């Protein structure tokens, strides 16, 4: 049983990582070569909260960064958005709400660190899905006491009589 649970957990984690929708904590630490910026969720949609995480560590800059800023003009946000430091050195994070007027597409906002390191984030913005069509739940039906109601009640009556006959035959048949 323990092996089944372990296999299911491993399969679920692997599926989440392969789907690309894993949070930054599962996607690996910031600063892995080729992965200095994490964005969650990515893809995102207009009107949703989106978190940017950057690792300002670099082989070319030995000094630690004291701050980082996200350039939000490409996203329709403020020009310089300060990022908050985390418990890890050189790692900064900020969460923004994407404007509802933001068009679907791929955006590459810049993130600049105080130690000279800069990174380009790649954010995919998808259109907000349209609302479901108003199909109704039957409560909007304007027909009452129609012929379908009569047929339904008749079928219920036939079913009740049939059930009564079966129960009566069963009782009389078991006495003999």
| Arithmetic mean of pLDDT, 71-79 | 91
Q: Domain total for the chain?
A: 1
How many angstroms separate the CA atoms of 119 and 92, rounded? 12
Establish if 108 belongs to a structural domain.
yes
How many Cα atoms within 13 Å fall on the side-chain side of residue 165?
Answer: 6
% the chain with pLDDT above 90: 41
Q: What is the CATH number of the domain that holds 79?
A: 2.60.40.1930
Predicted confidence (pLDDT) at residue 118 exceeds the cutoff of 60: yes
Hey, how many other C-beta atoms are within 10 angstroms of the C-beta on 27?
19
Establish if 55 belongs to a structural domain.
yes
| Arithmetic mean of pLDDT, 116-142 | 78
Establish if 171 belongs to a structural domain.
no
The closest of 64, 46, 50, 51 to 104, measured between CA atoms, is: 46
The model carries a pTM of 0.55
The closest of 79, 30, 24 to 57, measured between CA atoms, is: 30
How many Cα atoms within 13 Å fall on the side-chain side of residue 163?
Answer: 6
Establish if 41 belongs to a structural domain.
yes
* Domain with 99 in it: 22-125
Establish if 136 belongs to a structural domain.
no
Angle (nearest 5°) at CA 73 between 72 and 77: 60
Establish if 56 belongs to a structural domain.
yes
Establish if 144 belongs to a structural domain.
no
Describe the chain by its helix, strand, coil percentages, rounded to 5.
30, 25, 45
pLDDT attached to residue 26: 34
Find where tokens 């039957």 sit.
Answer: 138
How many angstroms separate the CA atoms of 43 and 33, rounded? 22
Predicted confidence (pLDDT) at residue 6 exceeds the cutoff of 50: no
Establish if 52 belongs to a structural domain.
yes
How many Cα atoms within 13 Å fall on the side-chain side of residue 78?
Answer: 10
Residue of higher predicted confidence among 25 and 145: 145
């Amino acid at each position: 049983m323990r092996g089944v649970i372990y296999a299911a957990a491993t399969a679920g984690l692997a599926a989440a990582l392969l789907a690309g929708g894993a949070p930054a904590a599962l996607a690996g630490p910031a600063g892995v070569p080729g992965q200095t910026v994490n964005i969650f969720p990515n893809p995102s949609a207009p009107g949703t909260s989106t978190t940017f995480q950057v690792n300002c560590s670099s082989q070319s800059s030995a000094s630690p960064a004291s701050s980082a800023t996200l350039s939000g003009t490409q996203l329709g946000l403020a020009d310089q958005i300060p990022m908050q430091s985390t418990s890890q050195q050189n790692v900064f994070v900020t969460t923004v709400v994407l404007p509802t007027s933001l068009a679907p597409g791929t955006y590459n906002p810049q993130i600049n660190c105080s130690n000279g390191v800069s990174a380009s984030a790649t954010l995919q913005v998808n259109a907000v899905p349209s609302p479901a069509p108003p199909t109704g739940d039957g409560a909007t039906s304007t027909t009452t006491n129609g012929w379908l109601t009569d047929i339904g009640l008749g079928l219920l009556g036939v079913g009740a009589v049939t059930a009564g006959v079966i129960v009566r035959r069963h009782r009389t048949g078991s006495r003999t």
